């Protein structure tokens, strides 16, 4: 009996906005035991010395786990140290930044706000690079909550402090695009792509901006470029949709048939057609269509001769952006688009 593997898939979704640093995490078991060994009280502690040393040891362990990509383990340690009041202002920023690698941005807002308060109280010793990280984190968090004003304000502050910050450029590009500022968004996303030319997620965001502005030829070129760099299901679905909108229905169907069973491919073709009809009749616009789909679940069923298992996908809009540490691997969270908005 085939096991079901669940993966988030969101068509026309801004996949590049989710995990530009990659959220590679390993199993919790080993990390939890390390955390417990670090923080479990010792029955016979001669106490004061152990209490003073533990935070330093814990911080070293958290940073080691972070460097190994074991972000959830590191997060657990930072959390416990923070609860005990053992983190300095910059260490609070470390904590928030690690949290941004494993949690949705909206869940990290309080951490970044706390870090900001601590850093503002510390008048010296905070570099522009650290402040840029802070404002990027705040911008992403406000963005995920739909608070465009403070999101843009913080992202622009981040870029003023660090003009080549790829995460801030990508986030601001997505934010501008969502607000209909497609030209400015495209300039920003082009700059982000220049900073990380092998990151397919940024290219996907740029392609989606061209979809929103109606330049399907440019969008298809970019989706093909992204596809050459990533095996993302979402990119392939976005490419199929773009082909359909360019009146290349057979190519779109072939792209879908490589991913799913014929019956499901025809369902997607029908959805594409319905989107096109609504746009042609003036009932909606392309940007509106890209904002309609939310909280949908779609199960992508691979072709019967494919060895892979079904993919369960959540269709929902997202404008969240993670921090960036260079071209990165993604966790198996894939995003695609359907007939109702899916926009990392």
Whether residue 317 lies inside any domain: the answer is yes
Q: Mean of the pLDDT values across residues 299-303?
A: 84
**Which pLDDT does position 106 carry in this prediction?**
85
Is 33's pLDDT higher than 80?
Answer: no
315 membership: H or E segment, kind and range: strand 311-315
Task: Tell me the CATH number at 314.
Answer: 1.25.40.10
Whether residue 150 lies inside any domain: the answer is no
Whether residue 224 lies inside any domain: the answer is yes
Residue 21: pLDDT band (50, 70, 90) is very low
Q: Which tokens is 271 given?
A: 């959805």
Rounded to a whole number of angstroms, the distance between the first and last alpha carbons of the chain is: 33
Q: Mean of the pLDDT values across residues 92-105?
A: 92
Cβ count near 63 (within 10 Å): 16
Cβ count near 123 (within 10 Å): 7
Q: Which tokens is 52 given?
A: 């003073």
Q: Mean of the pLDDT values across residues 115-124?
A: 88
Q: Which tokens is 1 given?
A: 């009996």
**Which pLDDT does position 297 carry in this prediction?**
55
Whether residue 283 lies inside any domain: the answer is yes
Q: How many domains does the chain have?
A: 1
Q: Mean of the pLDDT values across residues 69-95?
A: 94
DSSP string over 66-119? HHTT-HHHHHHHHHHHHHTT---HHHHHHHHHHHHHHS-GGGGHHHHHHHHHHH
Residue 306: pLDDT band (50, 70, 90) is low
Is 222's pLDDT higher than 70?
Answer: yes
* Of the candidates 303, 271, 274, 275, the residue with the CA atom closest to the CA atom of residue 291: 275
Q: Say which residue, 253 or 294, is predicted with more confidence.
A: 253
Whether residue 222 lies inside any domain: the answer is yes
Is 340's pLDDT higher than 80?
Answer: no
**Which pLDDT does position 254 carry in this prediction?**
96
**Which pLDDT does position 125 carry in this prediction?**
80
Domain that holds residue 304: 1-20+185-344
Non-local (6+) Cβ contacts of 240 within 8 A are 252, 253, 255, 256, 268, 272
Residue 341: pLDDT band (50, 70, 90) is very low
Whether residue 59 lies inside any domain: the answer is no
Q: What is the Cα–Cα distance from 75 to 28, expressed in whole angstroms? A: 11
Helix (H, G, I), strand (E, B) or coil at 199: coil
- Say if CB 201 and CB 168 are below 8 A apart: no
**Which pLDDT does position 115 carry in this prediction?**
95
Is 165's pLDDT higher than 90?
Answer: yes
Whether residue 34 lies inside any domain: the answer is no
Whether residue 189 lies inside any domain: the answer is yes
């Amino acid at each position: 009996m085939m096991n079901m593997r669940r993966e988030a898939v969101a068509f026309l979704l801004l996949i590049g906005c989710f995990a530009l640093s990659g959220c590679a995490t390993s199993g919790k078991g080993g990390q939890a035991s390390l955390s417990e060994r670090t923080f479990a009280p010792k029955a016979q502690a001669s106490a004061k010395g152990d209490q003073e040393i533990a935070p330093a040891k814990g911080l070293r362990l958290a940073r080691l786990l972070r460097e190994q990509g074991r972000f959830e383990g590191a997060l657990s340690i930072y959390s416990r140290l923070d609860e005990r009041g053992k983190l300095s202002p910059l260490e609070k920023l470390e904590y928030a930044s690690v949290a941004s690698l494993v949690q949705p941005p909206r869940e990290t807002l309080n951490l970044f706000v706390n870090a900001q308060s601590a850093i503002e109280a510390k008048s010296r010793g905070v570099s522009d690079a650290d402040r840029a990280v802070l404002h990027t984190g705040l911008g992403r968090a406000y963005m995920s909550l739909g608070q465009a004003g403070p999101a843009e304000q913080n992202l622009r502050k981040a870029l003023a402090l660090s003009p080549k910050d790829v995460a801030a450029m990508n986030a601001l590009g997505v934010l501008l695009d969502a607000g209909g500022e497609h030209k400015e968004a495209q300039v920003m996303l082009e700059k982000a792509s220049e900073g990380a030319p092998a990151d397919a997620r940024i290219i996907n965001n740029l392609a989606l901006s061209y979809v929103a502005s109606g330049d399907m030829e440019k969008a298809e070129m970019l989706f093909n470029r992204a596809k050459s760099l990533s095996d993302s299901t979402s990119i392939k679905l976005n490419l199929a949709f773009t082909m359909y909108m360019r009146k290349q229905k057979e190519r779109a169907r072939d792209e879908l048939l490589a991913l799913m069973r014929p019956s499901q491919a025809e369902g997607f073709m029908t959805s594409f057609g319905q989107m096109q009809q609504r746009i042609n009749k003036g009932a909606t616009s392309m940007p509106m269509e890209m904002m309609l789909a939310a909280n949908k679940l779609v199960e992508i069923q691979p072709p019967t001769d494919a060895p892979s298992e079904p993919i369960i996908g959540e269709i929902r809009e997202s404008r969240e952006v993670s921090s960036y540490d260079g071209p990165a691997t993604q966790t198996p969270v894939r995003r695609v688009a359907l007939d109702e908005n899916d926009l990392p």
